[in-house]
Amino acid sequence: MYTETPTTGTTAPVRASERAYRQLRGEILDGLLAPGTGLLEVEQAARIGVSRTPLRAAIARLIADGLVAGRTGRGFMVTEMSVDRIGELYEVRRALEEHAARIAAERRDPAVFEALRTQFLAAPELLRHGKAGLRRYYELIDEFDLALDVAVANPFLVGALAGVRTHLARIRRLARDNPDRLRSAAAEHLLIVDAVLAGDSSLAAHATHVHLHQSLTSVLATLRGSSAVPADPSPPPR
């Protein structure tokens, strides 16, 4: 089924299953598809504009991601995200990121982390520039994560971290960070970068621990205020 007009060459052959996956994943991460939402194959296939076959492939990937759970009887369900679940996620995140920081300190490319250091030094200034500055800040975090991935150079570890970050994106959406917290976070990141740069693996790991502790504390405090997330709603995923 080709609805594409034969324009100038670059007709990227995006598979229907890929489109469905990206759209559903995006909608789940953005909260458009609320946790607990029951979804039906036919209905979603029609909505997205693909047939059931590629849609099922997309669902399979989302289940592997832990974003949706197969429902025993009817359809499938967007997984819930409770306070308990957030705590558990951070537990795994600590294990993986502390280890990653430790390894990165041993294997890092100094030039990359020098560049990051400069940028994190400028971050507080960045946060005074409204929405654009905020977006730039989040890009910086992404660069930091990427630099860590490259430094650890371990596909298994990087893959596990990617899984954690997926769920983290959902949480970040719920707990809109306030500027004060972001300024502190930048300082914490700076310390991690410095430790990695100095090759101090122990400090890198412990600084990561501190950062994640502060992050979790902040998230939980925000959620306690808004109560946008149930305390303990559902059985665990998978």
| DSSP string across 154-200 | -HHHHHHHHHHHHHHHHHHHHS---HHHHHHHHHHHHHHHHHHHTT-
Contact set for DNA, span 66-125 (CB under 7 A): 70-76
Contact between 15 and DNA by CB under 7 A: the answer reads yes
Report the nearest approach of a second copy to the CB of residue 29 (Å).
17
Binders of DNA in range 157-186 (CB under 7 A): none
**Quick one: three-class SS letters along 133-159?**
HHHHHHHHHHHHHHHHHHHHCCHHHHH
Q: 173 touches which of DNA, a second copy, none (CB within 5 to 8 A by kind)?
A: none
CB of 158 to a second copy, least distance (A): 9
Strand partners, 77: 38, 69
If binding is defined by CB under 7 A, does position 57 make contact with DNA?
A: yes
- Provide the token pair at 20: 């469905």
Pure H helices in the chain: 16-30, 41-48, 52-65, 83-107, 110-121, 123-126, 130-152, 155-174, 179-197, 201-226
| Contact between 238 and a second copy per CB under 8 A | yes
Residues 48-87, one symbol each (x = binds a second copy by CB under 8 A, - = not), give -----x--xx--xx--x-x------------------x--
Site string for a second copy, 124-163 (x = CB under 8 A): ------------------------------xxxx-xx--x
d(CA 193, CA 23): 34
Among 16, 96, 101, 219, binds DNA (CB under 7 A): 16
Q: How far is CA 22 from the centre of its chain?
A: 14
Query: What is the β-pairing status of strands 76-78 and 68-70?
Result: antiparallel
**Measured between alpha carbons, how far is 28 from 79 in angstroms, rounded to an integer?**
9
Site size for a second copy (CB under 8 A): 31
The Cα-based distances of 203 to 95, 112, 147, 199 in angstroms read 15, 19, 18, 9
Q: Name which of 92 and 220 has its Cβ closer to a second copy.
A: 92
User: How far is the C-alpha of 97 from the C-alpha of 158, rounded, in Å?
Assistant: 10
Q: Which is nearer to a second copy, 48 or 103 (CB)?
A: 103
Q: Does 37 bind DNA (CB under 7 A)?
A: no
Which parts of this chain interact with a second copy (CB under 8 A)?
53, 56-57, 60-61, 64, 66, 85, 88-89, 91-92, 94-96, 98-100, 103, 154-157, 159-160, 163-164, 167, 236-238
Which parts of this chain interact with DNA (CB under 7 A)?
1-3, 13, 15-18, 40-43, 50-54, 56-57, 70-76
